C-alpha cells in the first residue's frame, strides 16, 4: 500500500462541521449585496497569464513570486487567478458591459497565491468581492465602503477599523515617486535588503514595510498627500466628509499603499487586531486606469475583496452566538415495520412541510445508538417510531435541547405539531 495522499500545503478542505459558518457568512453577504443592487458575475478560475501581468503589475509580489502559472497542452501560459478584479474587468470588456453603463457586480470563489502559509494566509483562499463601474465620483467610493460596513453589521462582527488613503492619479504618483526615490536613495545605508530591491522596482511599497529598522526613515519620507492635484484632493475630502456624514470612524493611513499596481485615488482596508499578522479582512479601492490598460475604452472602477477564511476565523470565535441551528428533528426507527413505514412518513412530512429539516435514521441499530446519533446531529427533537407506536398510531417526541419529558403524539397530528415547532 502506498502512502496516504494529502492535500497540498496551504490548501484546505472545508469540513462538514465548518461549512455552517461559511454558509452563515455567504448568505448574509449575499443578502446585503442584493440589497444594494449588485449582481453576481462568475468568471473562470484560469485566465491567460498576460491578464494578471498587465493588471496587477509585473513588479508586484503576486506576479513576481506568487502565481500558479503553467503552460497548457497548447503551449498557452495560464494562471490560477490570484484575485478577482482582473477577471472581472476582462469579462466586462469582452461582453461590452462597460460602455456608457453603470455596473454593480460581485463575485466569489477560490483564489491562489503561492505565499508562505501561516494563520490567515493560505495558498488557496476564498474571496467575496464587489466592483462598481462607470462612476468617477466619491459617492460610489462611499457606497462601496458602506456596503462593507453593512456586512459587519449583518454578521455581528465588531471592532473592525477602517483605514483609508488616497494614491492620487498615476501622473501624480509618478512625480511623487521621483521625490520618494531621491529621498530614499540619499539614505540607502538605512534601507533593508527588501527595500533596496524595491527602490528600483516598486518604491511606494517601501512605505508599507513592516520592518522596525525602517520606521524612522519611512516616517521622514515625503508624503503623497503633498503631491495631489486639486481634483484628487477634492475627491478624497469629499469621501472623508461622506464618512463623517454617515457616522463612520476612520483612520487616514498614509502608509496604506496596497500590493497591486492598478489603484488610483481611494484605497481602503478593514483591519482587526484579533488575527495576528494577517489582520486585513477586506481591502480595495479605485482603479480608474485599469479598463483602458486591459484594452477597453477609458472607464472607472472601484471595489473590494474580503478574505473569507479570515472573516470565518473571527466568526468562529463566537460560534455559540451565531444563529446556526441543527435540523428540526431526527427520526429514530425501531423494528422492521417502523423502518419501512418511517421512510414513507418522512416523505409525507416533507411534502406537507416545505423547509422541514429532518434526518431519517438509516441503517438500523439499537435504540441507544440511534438516540446518540440523534443527539449528535444537533436536532431539536427526536421522533421515536417503533413497531409498538406504529400499532397504536402514535409517535414519541423528545426535545433534545431541554429537559422536557418524552411524550406521545397521534401520527395524524404530527405534521401540525411540527409546523408549530419549526
- What are the start-end ranges of the H helices in 164-251? 170-185, 193-201, 215-219, 230-245
Query: With binding defined as CB under 6 A, does residue 108 bind ligand HAM?
Result: no
Cβ proximity to ligand HAM, 281 vs 353, nearer residue: 281
In the bound complex, what is the minimum distance in angstroms from residue 301's beta carbon to ligand HAM? 7
Query: Which residue, 27, 43, 250, is CA-closest to 154?
Result: 27
CA distance 173 to 124: 32
In the bound complex, what is the minimum distance in angstroms from residue 368's beta carbon to ligand HAM? 44
**Total residues at interface with ligand HAM (CB under 6 A):** 28
Query: Which residue, 43, 182, 141, 47, is CA-closest to 56?
Result: 47
- Residue that has been written with the C-alpha cell 409546523 in this structure: 419
User: How does DSSP classify residue 121?
Assistant: B
**Which triple of cell numbers denotes residue 319?**
460560534
Measured from each CB, the residue nearest to ligand HAM is 307
Write phi, then psi, for 378 (nearest 5 degrees): 70, 20
In the bound complex, what is the minimum distance in angstroms from residue 10's beta carbon to ligand HAM? 8
**Which triple of cell numbers denotes residue 351?**
411534502
CA distance 64 to 377: 47
Half-sphere exposure (Cβ direction) of 324: Cα atoms closer than 13 Å: 22
Cβ proximity to ligand HAM, 25 vs 346, nearer residue: 25
Cβ proximity to ligand HAM, 38 vs 330, nearer residue: 38
Q: Pick the piece of the chain touching ligand HAM (CB under 6 A) from 82-90, 177-185, 290-298, 376-384.
A: 82-90
Burial group, residue 218, by CB count within 10 angstroms (0-12, 13-18, 19+): middle
Residues of span 119-148 touching ligand HAM by CB under 6 A: 120-122, 125, 127, 129, 131
Query: With binding defined as CB under 6 A, does residue 227 bind ligand HAM?
Result: no
Q: Is the dihedral of CA 36, 40, 46, 52 positive or negative?
A: negative
Tell me whether strands 266-271 and 280-286 are parallel, antiparallel or unpaired. Answer: antiparallel
Cβ proximity to ligand HAM, 208 vs 375, nearer residue: 208
Query: With binding defined as CB under 6 A, does residue 57 bind ligand HAM?
Result: no
CA distance 393 to 403: 25
Residues of span 244-263 touching ligand HAM by CB under 6 A: 259-260
Query: With binding defined as CB under 6 A, does residue 87 bind ligand HAM?
Result: no
Query: With binding defined as CB under 6 A, does residue 275 bind ligand HAM?
Result: no
Buried b (16+ CB within 10 A) or exposed e, 196-209: eebbeebbbbbbeb
Q: Pick the piece of the chain touching ligand HAM (CB under 6 A) from 162-170, 174-182, 275-283, 384-392.
A: 275-283
Cβ proximity to ligand HAM, 304 vs 330, nearer residue: 304
Q: Pick the piece of the chain touching ligand HAM (CB under 6 A) from 41-49, 300-308, 324-332, 341-349.
A: 300-308
Query: With binding defined as CB under 6 A, does residue 361 bind ligand HAM?
Result: no
Query: Which residue, 13, 19, 102, 33, is CA-closest to 305?
Result: 33
Query: With binding defined as CB under 6 A, does residue 310 bind ligand HAM?
Result: yes
Instruction: Please pick, from the candidates 32, 256, 281, 418, the single residue that binds ligand HAM as defined by CB under 6 A.
Output: 281
Query: With binding defined as CB under 6 A, does residue 283 bind ligand HAM?
Result: yes
In the bound complex, what is the minimum distance in angstroms from residue 98's beta carbon to ligand HAM? 15
Q: Is the dihedral of CA 209, 244, 242, 282 positive or negative?
A: positive
Q: Which residues bind ligand HAM (CB under 6 A)?
A: 83-85, 113, 115, 120-122, 125, 127, 129, 131, 259-260, 280-285, 287, 303-307, 309-310
Amino acid at each position: 500500500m502506498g502512502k496516504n495522499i494529502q492535500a497540498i500545503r496551504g490548501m484546505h478542505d472545508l469540513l462538514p462541521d465548518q461549512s455552517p459558518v461559511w454558509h452563515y457568512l455567504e448568505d448574509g453577504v449575499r443578502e446585503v449585496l442584493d440589497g444594494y443592487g449588485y449582481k453576481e458575475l462568475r468568471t473562470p478560475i484560469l485566465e491567460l497569464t498576460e491578464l494578471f501581468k498587465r493588471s496587477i503589475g509585473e513588479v508586484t509580489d503576486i506576479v513576481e513570486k506568487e502565481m500558479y502559472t503553467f503552460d497548457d497542452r497548447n503551449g498557452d501560459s495560464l494562471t490560477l487567478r490570484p484575485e478577482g478584479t482582473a477577471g472581472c474587468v476582462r469579462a466586462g470588456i469582452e461582453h461590452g458591459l462597460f460602455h456608457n453603463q453603470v455596473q454593480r457586480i460581485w463575485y466569489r470563489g477560490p483564489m491562489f497565491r503561492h505565499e508562505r502559509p501561516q494563520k490567515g494566509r493560505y495558498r488557496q483562499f476564498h474571496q467575496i468581492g464587489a466592483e462598481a463601474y462607470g462612476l468617477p465620483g466619491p459617492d460610489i467610493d462611499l457606497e462601496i465602503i458602506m456596503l462593507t460596513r453593512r456586512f459587519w453589521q449583518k454578521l455581528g462582527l465588531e471592532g473592525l477599523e477602517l483605514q483609508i488613503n488616497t494614491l492620487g492619479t498615476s501622473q501624480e504618483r509618478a512625480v511623487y515617486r521621483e521625490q520618494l526615490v531621491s529621498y530614499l536613495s540619499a539614505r540607502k545605508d538605512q534601507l533593508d535588503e527588501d527595500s533596496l530591491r524595491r527602490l528600483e522596482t516598486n518604491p511606494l511599497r517601501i512605505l508599507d514595510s513592516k520592518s522596525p529598522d525602517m520606521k524612522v526613515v519611512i516616517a521622514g519620507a515625503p508624503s503623497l498627500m503633498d503631491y495631489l492635484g486639486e481634483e484628487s484632493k477634492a475627491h478624497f475630502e469629499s469621501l472623508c466628509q461622506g464618512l463623517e456624514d454617515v457616522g463612520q470612524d476612520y483612520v487616514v493611513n498614509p502608509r496604506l499603499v496596497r500590493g497591486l499596481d492598478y489603484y488610483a485615488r481611494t484605497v481602503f482596508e478593514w483591519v482587526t487586531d484579533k488575527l495576528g499578522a494577517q489582520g486585513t479582512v477586506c481591502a480595495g479601492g479605485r482603479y480608474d486606469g485599469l479598463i483602458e490598460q486591459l484594452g477597453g475604452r477609458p472607464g472607472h472602477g472601484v471595489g473590494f475583496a474580503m478574505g473569507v477564511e479570515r472573516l470565518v476565523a473571527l466568526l468562529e470565535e463566537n460560534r455559540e452566538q451565531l444563529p446556526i441551528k441543527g435540523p428540526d428533528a431526527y427520526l429514530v426507527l425501531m423494528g422492521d415495520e417502523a423502518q419501512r413505514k418511517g421512510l414513507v412518513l418522512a416523505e409525507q412530512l416533507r411534502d406537507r412541510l416545505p423547509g422541514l429539516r429532518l434526518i431519517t435514521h438509516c441503517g438500523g441499530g439499537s435504540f441507544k445508538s440511534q438516540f446518540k446519533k440523534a443527539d449528535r446531529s444537533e436536532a431539536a427533537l427526536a421522533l421515536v417510531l417503533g413497531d409498538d407506536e406504529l400499532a397504536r398510531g402514535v409517535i414519541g417526541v423528545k426535545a433534545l435541547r431541554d429537559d422536557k419529558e418524552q411524550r406521545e403524539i397521534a401520527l395524524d397530528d404530527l405534521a401540525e405539531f411540527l409546523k408549530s415547532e419549526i
